[in-house]
């Protein structure tokens, strides 16, 4: 276990003992991710996302960073119906994700998942639609650029969830800074300052997993 710089190690270990075990597709993907060193949302973030998705019926989701389709499946399984557009740069990941979404279709045909393979910077401008939830979980140095492209597609009353915003504790303090990460760290600090001061957003930063920012777009019900 890598020691967290975000949550006290004992608290994190304790919370992990409280998490329910996933079954079926999600369990298989967790095993695949562990065996193949694929980065997926941390277990406590996965559980948070599950609860979060239950609290309100999201129907049009954009995910930036599909990987093998774990978080996409997790969200889809909590939706009653709707769509998920998910973007992945790495074609090999996208192949595995398409197998995941084929299995998902059997379990959850009410949610239509559209995979986009390519750089989100190029794909987002081609998406001619709006979303009520945007999940950003891709290259940490580009969150602000992703945000700028997809924010106009977020309906008032919609939510942006940004993962890894406290990046191994480095965003909060230079004490944990690894010098080769300085550009990512500076950009993420700017992104968090921007998000938390944005006049149309109400944002909370949660010290959970690698840090999660939840931003609610005011001005309506998505």
Minimal distance, residue 63 CB to ligand SAM, in Å: 6
* Binding to ligand SAM, residues 88-107 (CB under 6 A): 88-90, 93
Selected range binding ligand SAM among 8-16, 65-73, 175-183, 202-210, rule: CB under 6 A: 65-73
Backbone angles phi, psi at 114, to 5 degrees: -110, 120
Judged by DSSP in three states, 78 sits in helix
- Give the residue with the Cβ less far from ligand SAM, 39 or 157: 39
What is the β-pairing status of strands 201-206 and 154-163?
unpaired
Per CB under 6 A, the list member of 4, 7, 61, 65 interacting with ligand SAM is 65
Q: Determine if 120 is a binding residue for ligand SAM (CB under 6 A).
A: yes
Per CB under 6 A, the list member of 77, 95, 112, 139 interacting with ligand SAM is 139
For ligand SAM, what does the binding mask look like between residues 19 and 58, x meaning CB under 6 A? --------------------xxx-----------------
Q: Is residue 86 within 8 Å of 63, Cβ to Cβ?
A: yes
Strand pairing partners for 83? 60, 112
Structure-token pair, residue 49: 């996302």
Q: Determine if 119 is a binding residue for ligand SAM (CB under 6 A).
A: yes
Residue identified by tokens 């065996």 is 35
Minimal distance, residue 218 CB to ligand SAM, in Å: 26
Provide long-range contacts, Cβ within 8 A and 24+ apart, for 7-11. 7/207, 7/208
Nearest to 41 by CA among 138, 118, 112, 186: 138
Structure-token pair, residue 198: 């944005």
For residues 168 and 58, what is the distance between their CA atoms, to the nearest angstrom? 30
- Give the residue with the Cβ less far from ligand SAM, 24 or 219: 24
- Give the residue with the Cβ less far from ligand SAM, 39 or 207: 39
List residues near ligand SAM by CB under 6 A: 39-41, 65, 67, 70-71, 87-90, 93, 119-121, 137-139, 142
């Amino acid at each position: 276990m890598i020691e967290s710089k975000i949550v006290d190690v004992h608290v994190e270990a304790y919370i992990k003992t409280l998490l329910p075990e996933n079954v079926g597709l999600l369990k298989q993907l967790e095993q695949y991710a562990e065996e193949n060193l694929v980065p997926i949302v941390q277990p406590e973030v996965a559980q948070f996302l599950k609860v979060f998705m239950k609290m309100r019926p999201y129907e049009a989701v954009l995910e930036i960073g599909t990987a093998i389709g774990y978080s996409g499946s997790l969200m889809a399984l909590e939706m009653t119906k709707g769509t998920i557009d998910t973007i992945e740069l790495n074609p090999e990941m996208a192949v595995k994700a398409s197998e995941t979404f084929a299995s998902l279709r059997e379990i959850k045909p009410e949610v239509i998942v559209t995979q986009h393979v390519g750089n989100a910077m190029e794909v987002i401008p081609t998406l001619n639609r709006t979303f009520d939830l945007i999940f950003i979980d891709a290259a940490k140095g580009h969150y602000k650029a992703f945000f700028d492209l997809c924010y106009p597609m977020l309906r008032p009353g919609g939510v942006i969830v940004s993962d890894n915003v406290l990046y191994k504790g480095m965003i909060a303090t230079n004490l944990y800074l690894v010098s080769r990460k300085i550009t990512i760290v500076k950009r993420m600090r700017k992104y968090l300052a921007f998000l938390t001061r944005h006049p149309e957003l109400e944002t909370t930063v949660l010290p959970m997993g690698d840090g999660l920012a939840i931003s609610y777009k005011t001005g309506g019900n998505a």
